[in-house]
Structure 1
């Protein structure tokens, strides 16, 4: 008899959701993670009394997340205190224009009217179309497996209305947005979300244009920091008997007769299991933990060809004043063509942008308990390459901290440089070391059309029995709701194929 019914490698949201669901279903489940804390890219770290988010900063499309909690016999609302964010952002355009981005569709129409009245009609057309697409995607796309073309056919049979949105899957983000909005400032204000997927607007798949609309369906922060979400899944799972071990490295997946039968830990201990569920990067799983000798030619070639997604360096600041900002989130953008150029001519050439842009999260705007009294937290999600040309992130970390503080102080947050008490930076190299994410890729692999659905590593391994994948490596991709959905997909597949 095996030591466990299921071993989950990685305590990110995909691993914790799968582990909790399997435990509720009666399987003896162990979740292991090499990090000292759970959550993966959705976690929180403490320093000098400040609680900094160490990755994700937003909870959106809560309907998907709530479905997982419902399967666990509870609800997201019961387990995590969600703080609604309205406005969603204050958008700071490159030309200095600031746009308030409220949750209300009609209120945002008024904001558009102030800048580009001719785009108000396009906004309402966009909202209507994306409302239909999001509703359809929630029914058929997020929770359906996409391992094979047969799965894709079943997805369409189950939700035939998806056929009406095929144009979104053959156009780019930029093409879709430009069909609704003509003013370049409005295009700029609604195109940075492509960067959330790690791609420029001209390369990002068109179906991702639903992201700005999804933000209007509910945009939240979790009280206590983003760690509250993985902590809730871990707490519920433990209530069903799930075991969680942190500071526990898995260095090998044991494969016998083309079946995953156990793992070898960093200290050499072997643990046997009936099922292995991997929440780590699929390339690291197949090439490092399993080994090429267990892969067929197509699998070996395919996994080696997967390109990493972009990285997202984080600047974590504890400050002793109230920042002169307008909302929890400030989105610092660039015009669409500059986003495209930055990707091809800077990021892909392993250079750092001369003009930084990204998301400023003023977390203590919504939760004062995250910082010592009278202090505040700013977490800045920036842009940068996975690797730097001719130098390492480690070599330039301190100089970049100083440079970015000066830049943000001058451009977006006046007086910032005079009030910093704590300054830390999480680089792609740190993510690679701490989360075993090759090159610090936040979504594991690129999320363009050639790396979605059937073109992503399968949720149920095609070559190794008893092996399942969750997390950003597999369908439906990166992002909090998507990785939690992957845990539900894995549970469904295991129930179907493993009994």
Structure 2
């Protein structure tokens, strides 16, 4: 039997971060990934001369002191080829185009230009947002194990109790919408739509359902530094996998884990091919949606995550459209967000995010070509009705293409490759149960209290990824892996 110190299941950013850190610290690490690609929902695939990013995701956390910058430093890795984005994205509302700038002074100038009557209140809101987020960032940088479920976790949380942090409590007891009311902005249709567009992509919800501190952290991340990573975020995944190998670990693709069982003082992990591996510590980065199917009933009852409770928690799916086309995009911005109707929910193609490959990124497309990833949130159930599946794909594609043509009139004729992806696709290729992606949907000011801890309830069994604290996004998942690595290392 193949015996290792640690087995990591899943090569998403959480598993890669945990595996790379543990290997660097001298543990014998085996990472098992079911697909033939790294990065999970932040990975890539290659088709017809294009490299498509699985998700329409910006590069975050590479600024000085940022999570991924510090992770690279900890691992002794050179930073990937990238460039800072002065323009985070262009946001196309039904009656207004907003240029979202990374630099605070330029963003405030844009607010004044677009909203001459209300910009001062908007700037005050952003000043509060940035100040509060930076204070919370100091707490998160200490990598707390949240929610605390053992004495180490409670000791760590209690160690953070001081007068300065106590001032943050109101933001943990209110939504972003509550804070907007203070500035008289809660009913401002265009500004709220802009914020909703950012939050639905970052934390899966809108101002009404988003705890204030989570929303503030997510919105401030853009202003700390937004980057274009050459080759996409898959480049980062490849760097982390390379670090595991450099430090003696193994990264094994096309190895789907089918069963995990208790054996003596450790764990036996069995793949679909019948391969068996043994380790005292197992790190699961395959999402809590897929958790219970790995264990027998007796072990399942010992997990802190109750199966019926987990299945009842709301989560989004994604409809993605991957386009390879001639370069007809006369725009400085590499990311675009479209919102078509104010009154409709920001799902099902009414809101979508577009990621364009850079004109000089030869890893993504040939000269004169661009690779696009387009993504919208979608409810899951409709995609599992086989009789409607093809019709739905066609209608979603058409809606998105029609919206794109509003800003890029030549795009339809320029397309030479169009590949749609639905929740069914995400279940097939990244093994997300029923195609659930992005973690759970916050549903109010206290929803953060229902976060799942990386401590599974089984000794030596750890959880990381977008379904545990600190949640969705590449930064959150990478940080969850780092938290787990620190506890195992101790």
TM-score, normalized by the shorter chain, greater than 0.5:
yes
Q: 1:423 aligns with which of 418, 427, 431?
A: 418
Shift of 1:2: 6.5
Partner of 2:192: 187
SS at match of 1:224: coil
Partner of 1:7: 7
Q: Map 1:83-482; keep pairs closer than 5 Å.
A: 83-95=83-95, 97-141=96-140, 143-148=143-148, 151=153, 154-155=156-157, 157-158=159-160, 160=162, 161-180=164-183, 182=185, 183-196=188-201, 197-210=203-216, 211-256=218-263, 260-285=266-291, 287-296=292-301, 299-300=305-306, 303-333=309-339, 338=343, 342=345, 353=348, 356-365=350-359, 367=361, 369-388=363-382, 391-392=385-386, 394-396=389-391, 398-400=393-395, 402-404=397-399, 406-448=401-443, 455-462=450-457, 464-482=458-476
Aligned residues: 477
SS at match of 1:251: strand
Q: Distance in 1 between matches of 2:146 and 2:54?
A: 30
Q: Distance in 1 between matches of 2:463 and 2:294?
A: 13
For structure 1, the residue ranges without an aligned partner over 5 or more in a row are 348-352
SS at match of 1:408: helix
Shift of 1:374: 1.6
Structure 1 residues 162-201: Cα deviation after superposition (integer angstroms, max 9, x where no partner): 3222222222232323434634322222221221122233
Q: Distance in 1 between matches of 2:131 and 2:445?
A: 24
Partner of 1:350: none
Q: Distance in 1 between matches of 2:446 and 2:423?
A: 21
Asked if the contact 1:371/1:377 (under 8 Å) is kept, the reply is yes
Shift of 1:19: 0.5
Shift of 1:440: 1.6
Asked if the contact 2:397/2:420 (under 8 Å) is kept, the reply is no
Partner of 2:31: 31
Q: Distance in 1 between matches of 2:60 and 2:166?
A: 25
TM-score by length of 1: 0.88
SS at match of 1:221: strand
RMSD: 2.6
Q: Distance in 2 between matches of 1:308 and 1:55?
A: 20
Asked if the contact 1:401/1:423 (under 8 Å) is kept, the reply is no
Shift of 1:445: 2.6
Structure 1 residues 240-290: Cα deviation after superposition (integer angstroms, max 9, x where no partner): 012001111110011247x651201101221111111000111312x1001
Asked if the contact 2:23/2:249 (under 8 Å) is kept, the reply is yes
Shift of 1:412: 3.2
Asked if the contact 2:211/2:445 (under 8 Å) is kept, the reply is no
Asked if the contact 1:173/1:202 (under 8 Å) is kept, the reply is yes
Shift of 1:3: 0.7
Asked if the contact 2:31/2:252 (under 8 Å) is kept, the reply is yes
Q: Distance in 2 between matches of 1:390 and 1:279?
A: 25
